[in-house]
Structure 1
Amino acid sequence: MIRHFVTAVSLAMALAIPAAAQVPPFPASFTTQEIATNGTTIHVRVGGAGPAVVLLHGYGETGDMWAPMAADLVRDHTVVVPDLRGLGLSAKPADGFDKKTQAGDVAGVLDALKIEKADLVTHDIGNMVGYAFAAQHPERVTRFVLIDAPLPGIGPWEEVLKNPLLWHFRFGGPDMERLVAGRERIYLDRFWNEFSADRTRFSEAAREHYAKLYALPGAMHSGFSQFAAFDQDALDNQAFLSKGGKLKMPVLAIGGEKSFGPMMATIMRFAAENVEEGIVPGSGHWIMEENPEATVTMVRAFLDKK
């Protein structure tokens, strides 16, 4: 049964994650909010003051991945870190996993926080949500950093789909949910291992932490639904590009050296006019686990440009 909200039982499970299985914490100055918007409820971490920056995570993680980035940016930014619809401690709705709808979640969070415009820093599925937001609300995005994942329907998307490592894009549905129920850690280990340059950099503590969050009721359904929406996302993205043209704000496209590498900038030049390239050395897909120092330095330098 799909839960529309994080139940008391689910929340208790999350809070029961042992300290040994925790990822690096956010600074103590951060607070959390449950923001009701766009037909769901989004779990959001907020800290700092100054120009706003929104950090959007991807599949296999939650907003928790951004703790090292948030600790740096909070010195002179208002940092907003949601869990995407259906993931982490956000509510688990039955639908709305197309990225155009989730862009509405981001807009609702910013409206609730009375933030008119922000920088975007995104990873994986977060790239897709961020692009849908930037394409629909370009006046609200000052700078945009996208990290190590393609955009459905943009540039070499059809070639990307042919990569056998991406079989999970078509993996989903009730039978697949039954297969992974109680085996979430096994399923997720595949991503953390195969998409790392060095699998040992994705720590055991982080694996335990995220596996428990993805075992919450409705979370795996939500994760599969993020991928199942790609065909609709591709149509939406092509419509955004056809109607509004390429993004005009400055864009930094970052790839892990052992993952998308310079291909990220190649992809984004199909969707944006002003694209810089960045490569995280020695890293696969999981940039905040594999080389957080280089990632934070690169993002900080781009956001600080006048």
Structure 2
Amino acid sequence: MDETNTPYDKRAHSRADAAPGPPRGRRVWSRRRIMLLAAGVLAVPLAGNTASVLTQTAEASGGQIVRLPGGDLHVVQDGAPGAPTVVLLHGLAGSTTWWDPVLPALRDRHVVRVDLLGHGHSAKPAGGYGVAEQARRVGSVLDRLGVRHVTVVGHSTGGAVATSLAEQRHDLVGGIALIDTGPRANAYIGDSLTARLITTPVIGQVLWRLRSDSTIRDALSTAFTRNVPIPDQVIADVRGMTYRSLTATSEATHAFLKQQPVPDRLAHLGLPTLVIFGSQDRRWQPSSAQDYRRVPHARIEILAGVGHTPMFEDPDTTGALLHGFTLTTAPR
């Protein structure tokens, strides 16, 4: 969801998130609630909803565009080109901006941030949002950049993509770090009312067409537990998504987790694994982080008082954990 940069308002910026979380099965809604909301919203015509932007092309913004069949990806590189490479993958409705707070801790690494297909400044086509497809695209980007060994880090949905990349590219991935990535579909807690309605057919499309900054912030409200300032660019990046890219990514993540839990996928890969989880995550059951104990030698770090997005809520600790982990996964 993107738009203009508005004057900073602490209350308005107090909470946000990586976006409406994956719909874990349809919630049972009060018929009266749905009817009342629909009466006020459906009066707006659906004509020209999102079809006109389903094939948006990638835009460069402080990075570079990597041309790929089916949709180009926006990539930002930081740090020393000759240093060990760390790949950062954002969550649903996120973007490269989500990693800004931890960049100082990784300044001696070669950091590659990717806007996943449908997100940020990457292309937003009608299809291609499967988790395995997203992972293949990330692998293709790294091949184009000439990168041969990486530590891959994923936040929430980005963790699913990171896991799939590790499954596909044993030659490339030397370690994986997951930040508040739900291990299984039934560990999902839920979304705000607005976020749930956005994933409801017809009503969701209308709400998306009418989206405002305040609507976006409400939809993202469960992603943060601590009150932290959220940059306008985070809201802008969500606003810039298409309805199709949002819902298709959400559905793909749910399907990936339902097919096989993340810990089971990682257990046989033999990779160094770091799991960071907020003890007050409002999207995933914090206790579900213990599922990762099934991964041999996985290191699990629970951050006290932190919610779903440790990069913003506790960037110093999160950055230090990531940096320390990269020291153990760099090629020797």
The TM-score normalised by the length of structure 2 is 0.73
Q: Which has the higher contact order (CA 8 A, sep 6+)?
A: 2
- Provide Cα deviations, 1:48-68, integer angstroms capped at 9, x if missing partner: 221111000112431111123
- Provide Cα deviations, 1:67-122, integer angstroms capped at 9, x if missing partner: 232233232x2110011110100000111111010001111110110112200111
* Number of matched pairs: 272
SS of alignment partner, residue 228 of structure 1: helix
Shift of the alpha carbon at 1:261? Answer: 7.8
- Out of 246-255 and 176-185, give the one that drifted further: 176-185
Question: In the alignment, what sits opposite 2:145?
Answer: 113
Structure 2 CA distance for partners of 1:288 and 1:58, relative to 1, 3 Å:
same
Q: Which amino acid aligns with 2:182?
A: P
8 A Cα contact 2:74 2:115, kept in partner: yes
8 A Cα contact 1:254 1:262, kept in partner: no
Structure 2 CA distance for partners of 1:303 and 1:187, relative to 1, 3 Å:
same
For the pair 1:267 / 2:291, whether they are aligned, the reply is yes
- Rounded to whole Å, the distance in 2 between the matches of 1:149 and 1:239 is 9
8 A Cα contact 2:157 2:253, kept in partner: no
- Out of 41-50 and 277-286, give the one that drifted further: 277-286
- Rounded to whole Å, the distance in 1 between the matches of 2:267 and 2:298 is 15
Question: In the alignment, what sits opposite 1:18?
Answer: none
8 A Cα contact 1:213 1:219, kept in partner: no
- Rounded to whole Å, the distance in 2 between the matches of 1:215 and 1:251 is 33
- Provide Cα deviations, 1:208-261, integer angstroms capped at 9, x if missing partner: 322222222x5343122111223532365469958x962211101110121158
Question: In the alignment, what sits opposite 1:36?
Answer: 67
RMSD: 2.9
- Rounded to whole Å, the distance in 1 between the matches of 2:264 and 2:181 is 18
8 A Cα contact 1:85 1:102, kept in partner: yes
Gaps of 5+ in 1: 16-30
Percent of pairs with identical residues: 24
SS of alignment partner, residue 37 of structure 1: coil
- Rounded to whole Å, the distance in 1 between the matches of 2:326 and 2:216 is 32
Question: In the alignment, what sits opposite 1:144?
Answer: 176
8 A Cα contact 1:51 1:118, kept in partner: yes
- Rounded to whole Å, the distance in 2 between the matches of 1:261 and 1:238 is 14
For the pair 1:282 / 2:282, whether they are aligned, the reply is no
- Provide Cα deviations, 1:248-284, integer angstroms capped at 9, x if missing partner: 11101110121158635423334x3231111223311
Structure 2 CA distance for partners of 1:51 and 1:287, relative to 1, 3 Å:
same
- Rounded to whole Å, the distance in 1 between the matches of 2:125 and 2:132 is 15
Question: In the alignment, what sits opposite 2:248?
Answer: 225
Gaps of 5+ in 2: 1-50
Question: In the alignment, what sits opposite 2:322?
Answer: 299
1 or 2, which has the higher helix percentage?
A: 1
Q: Which has the larger radius of gyration?
A: 2
- Provide Cα deviations, 1:142-161, integer angstroms capped at 9, x if missing partner: 1111001214xx4xx33x24
- Rounded to whole Å, the distance in 1 between the matches of 2:267 and 2:260 is 11
